[in-house]
Chains A and B, each alone.
Chain A
Amino acid sequence: MFDKYFSIISDYVSAHKRQAAIIVISLVILSSLGTLFIKYDNNIELMLPKDGAVLLSLRFLRQSHFSDKAIISLGLNSSQQTTAELILAANNLVGQLNSPLILKVSSGIAGNNPQEQINEYLKFAPQLIPPDELAKTDSQLNTVEINKKLGSAYNKLLTPGGSFLMPFIQADPLGIKTGILGNLNQISNAMGYNIIIEDGHFLSRDKKHTFLIVNTNAALTDGFSARKLVNFLKDKLRLLPKYIDADIIAGHMHAVSNEDIIKKDIQRTAGIAMIAFLAVFLFTFRDLRALIFLIIPLGAVVIAMNISALVFGKLSYFIIGLGAVIIGVADDYGIHAYVAVHTSGSKKAINQIAKPLTIAAATTISVFATFFFSSIQGYHQLALFAISSIILCLLFVLLIFPHLLKNKTTPKTIPAQIVKPQAIIPDKLYIWSWILIIIILAGFSFKSRFNSDISQFDASSKDIVKAEDEFNRIYGRGEQPAMLVTSADNLDQALEKNEKLYLQAWPFIGKENLASFSLLWPSLKTRRANALFWEKFWRGRREEELKLLLDQNALQYNFSKDAFQPFFDNLYLGTDPAQSPDNLELFKNIKERFIQKNQVGWQILSFFPDKDEFTAYLVKLSREIPGTFVVSRKAFSKAISNSITREVIFLSLLAAVLVLALTAVLLKNVKLTLISLVSVVSAIISITGTFSIFGIALNAAAVIASMMVVGLCIDYGVFMLYSFKHELNTGTVKAIWVSALTTLIGAFSLLFARHPVLFSVGLTLVAGLLGGYISSQTVIPALYRVFIEKKTKHK
């Protein structure tokens, strides 16, 4: 049936070959022009699964304000210059950072007197101190306890930092607000940086470094804006005095660097692959017309790029980076056709190999088609790009290519290959050697690791990473904390939910480990209740009682009569729950880190150490409270890992069923089908063994590339067995050799890529294809001879 329909289509094209040629040439020219207008994307999100937890974290990170900031780190590189000169340079730079891309530049905390700011914040104590805490004060309202407090206050005032403590002691002789100060300290430490504020600027402890925070509207995912921002900042940094070193710390630097690296990789790998393809074709076939094998897949890939761009809008650089591999895969059909024609000396050989070529293409396509069932959008792009390329290439080879040979000088006939080469080495030696190698490699494979951390796909230049490490070292920034996110329609609902979560979480996590905004500013309901209790507590007897006790005992500690008047003056100042410390710079800065507003509503973040036990507990807790979730780097990695594992199992099973089914259809024999799997098994074991031997962890990109390997290697086995079975004289061995070589060249070129995704794919393909190819040329013929041929002869 296949032959019948193929003949009809082939004859039709043959009758309209001029029109067909014009259509193909026009398509290729138009598509080449079209590539100039394609938009490219280097967003790693495309390569991540859209699993629930992963999606939630990604959406949060996209909507949060973390990605709209860049930090400019400035440092003195000369001991001759002073902090004053550093601050002056920072101020001058702030003045120059005028661009539509820059919304705000902060160099420190305005208002800048932390002591005054803290004192102002402490005036809100009536709203902040819970009734049970305040009730403890009752036990202090007696002579013994007051004397203890006064003695302690006196001693503190005589210490070197006494003058700084004085306003706090005057405003709080009983130390009622100590808990609030502790909370403030804990929250400030959760800011993650060890900085001092001097002259209103953020400074490192050694005062030799400062930094500016730049708020930008340049989105990380918008490569053009990110580059514009980075270039603008770099231009301005060049104007700094020579004694200032400057670095930009921003996600935008990673985006730009990754794009540059992947672009260079594409140029480098494509260049290497093209030169190698040309060399192989010309050296192997010694016929200039063999260049058509390069032009056909190239044309197919160019058209496929346009098709993919039309469907997806933007094309991922990672997918285009695999272009050389796709060319290496797609050119196989042309090679088989060319070798068949030249080996047999007749164009009719195309008809003989049309069916196995189509089935081979179908098996490869079926592997790529399974990617459409993946939740990873990047794989959809890869699938469409690869499938379009393969189909177009196959059509060109089967329908257009034969006509190119017409009226041409018959090329020098290549001696026909022996269909089933006689083994020089005994078949059983091949088989046992293969089993031994597979066992050894399988032994190594057990030691293989899987790395699910997405940061491994960050190919940013070493300078960027070094600058970040240095920044973290200078400002004492440790491991990034995980976040517990509470969201609600309005701020007070969010505050209420956040408070509830904190009260439930801290007994397990520990107060010292959970930095919650509720420590600094509880919900309106709680503040109202606190303030009400405060009023009731002090008004009347207790206020007078304390005044009397202080009057009676203060003098023996040398305290003046009005020493503690500030406490009584401020006693009821912060009791109105409608008032908030929003005008305090210190409070505003902290609030900005903990509270975010987005299009949907409000989100409050709490920070905790990114430890498995904390994350697991909070994930469980957050499931019970709607609108809350955990964002953790480790949990994110785990969610990706779990999701990818599920994807890979599903896709592998799907691909295995499809490949087996198609192979069985072509070979129509169970034994032959099982033998054809030898190349697949060899390829998979080679991949896992190679990664393990080199100490490289497998990753998502490698797993997906492995599936491509399966699709390609099954072809090698199928071609060999098909030609054995049908005793074809179509130069199958040579065709497989050249097509495997070209695919390997495409894959090998990726080993020169600096981007880890492309390198992983390259290593997987090289290891897998080598294993699959070698076994198809040695073990499969041996197995055929031992299990099929001999038994047939016996019969």
Chain B
Amino acid sequence: MLKKIALLVIFMLTCCGVSFADTQTLALIKELEGKLSGVKTLETDFIQKKKMAIFAKPVILEGKVFIQEPDLFAWHTNKPVRYIMVIKGDLIKQWDQDSRQMQVLSLARNPTFSVAINQMKVWFKGNYSSLLNEYEIKVIGRNPVILEFTPKENAPAASLINKVNITFQNDERYIKKIAIVEKNQDTTELAFTNTKLNNPINPSNWELK
């Protein structure tokens, strides 16, 4: 009998513990979202390290990311190849040094690409509570804050992604690093440096050269 009561107490404490931790995570996500929602423009340098089974050696990309609310997003890669992608609303414009041609796509008409771009925008813009249905979210670091996103079993992302870790800057005003581990063990690490928040962005950065 005593054993049963002890088990019940342990069970209840465990449940309470989980519930408490979940509430804390949610509160933290809301807090971070609150801070990120204050970001109206962003300009940052990035270094992206991709380890993919398809490549013989890791690939390191360097470039810049620009975001301007409500719907402008630009990704400029300078090394190893020059590439520019600008998203405005439903339209994506791309340019690369190889073809030297501008390609315009509609997200609505390219569902697969659209999924990829939407995922990327979510990680960059920080509206993480929209991911609660698809991902289990854990806080794995406090100083700096590190969130770990694991796709739920039946979520579409589960077939592609193992987990995503987001590391915030010390002042929690923006992201410092994004690390993605894919299902096939490919990894992508994206580190942001020289981040400027809410500074005017040169309009030329939304144009394709």
B203 CB-CB contact with A under 8 Å: no
A289 CB-CB contact with B under 8 Å: no
CB nearest neighbor in B for A170:
B54
Whether B133 and A84, one on each chain, are in contact in the complex, defined by CB atoms closer than 8 angstroms, is yes
Stretch at the interface among B1-9, B11-19, B151-159, B193-201: B151-159
Interface size class of B (residues with CB under 8 A): 35 or more
Report the bound CA distance from A644 to B169 in whole Å: 74
Interface size class of A (residues with CB under 8 A): 35 or more
Cβ–Cβ < 8 Å partners of A205 in chain B: 90, 107-108
A169 CB-CB contact with B under 8 Å: yes
Whether A113 and B120, one on each chain, are in contact in the complex, defined by CB atoms closer than 8 angstroms, is no
Report A516 CB to chain B, min CB distance, Å.
18
Report B51 CB to chain A, min CB distance, Å.
11
B172 CB-CB contact with A under 8 Å: no
Whether A118 and B94, one on each chain, are in contact in the complex, defined by CB atoms closer than 8 angstroms, is no
CB nearest neighbor in A for B55:
A558
Q: Is the interface of B mostly helix, strand, loop or mixed?
A: mixed
Whether A194 and B108, one on each chain, are in contact in the complex, defined by CB atoms closer than 8 angstroms, is yes
Interface residues of A in 553-567 (CB under 8 A from B): 555, 558-563
Partner of B114, one of A196, A476, A563: A196
Known: A155-B96, A170-B54, A476-B108. A161 touches B116 (CB 8 A): yes
Known: A113-B156, A161-B116. A196 touches B111 (CB 8 A): yes
| Chain A-chain B contacts (Cβ-Cβ < 8 Å), number | 115
Report the bound CA distance from A169 to B156 in whole Å: 20
Known: A198-B134, A207-B130. A159 touches B182 (CB 8 A): no
Q: Which of B52, B94, B130, B132 has the most CB of A within 10 A?
A: B52
A727 CB-CB contact with B under 8 Å: no
Partner of B133, one of A87, A194, A555: A87
Cβ–Cβ < 8 Å partners of B115 in chain A: 114-115, 164, 196
B67 CB-CB contact with A under 8 Å: no
Cβ–Cβ < 8 Å partners of A559 in chain B: 54-56
CB nearest neighbor in B for A85:
B133
Report the bound CA distance from A82 to B180 in whole Å: 24
A225 CB-CB contact with B under 8 Å: no
Whether A199 and B155, one on each chain, are in contact in the complex, defined by CB atoms closer than 8 angstroms, is yes
Report the bound CA distance from A159 to B50 in whole Å: 11
Whether A118 and B112, one on each chain, are in contact in the complex, defined by CB atoms closer than 8 angstroms, is yes
A544 CB-CB contact with B under 8 Å: no
Report the bound CA distance from A476 to B89 in whole Å: 14
CB nearest neighbor in A for B90:
A205
Known: A199-B156, A200-B156. A160 touches B85 (CB 8 A): yes
Whether A158 and B61, one on each chain, are in contact in the complex, defined by CB atoms closer than 8 angstroms, is yes
- What are the interface flags for A145-170 relative to B under an 8 Å C-beta threshold, 1 for contact and 0 otherwise? 00000011001011111111010011
Which B residues lie at the A interface, using CB under 8 A?
50, 52-57, 59, 61, 75, 77, 80-81, 83, 85, 90, 94, 96, 98-99, 107-118, 120, 129-130, 132-134, 154-156, 159-160, 180, 182, 186, 188
Among all A-B residue pairs, the 5 with the closest Cβ atoms: A84-B133, A161-B116, A164-B116, A194-B108, A113-B159
**Sample of 14 A–B contacts (CB below 8 Å):** A82-B130, A82-B132, A84-B133, A87-B133, A151-B98, A157-B55, A159-B94, A163-B188, A164-B116, A166-B54, A166-B186, A198-B156, A200-B156, A560-B55
Can you add 17 more A-B contacts, CB < 8 Å, to A157-B54, A200-B156? A82-B129, A113-B160, A115-B112, A152-B99, A155-B96, A159-B85, A162-B50, A163-B52, A164-B115, A166-B186, A169-B54, A170-B54, A194-B108, A199-B134, A476-B108, A560-B55, A561-B56
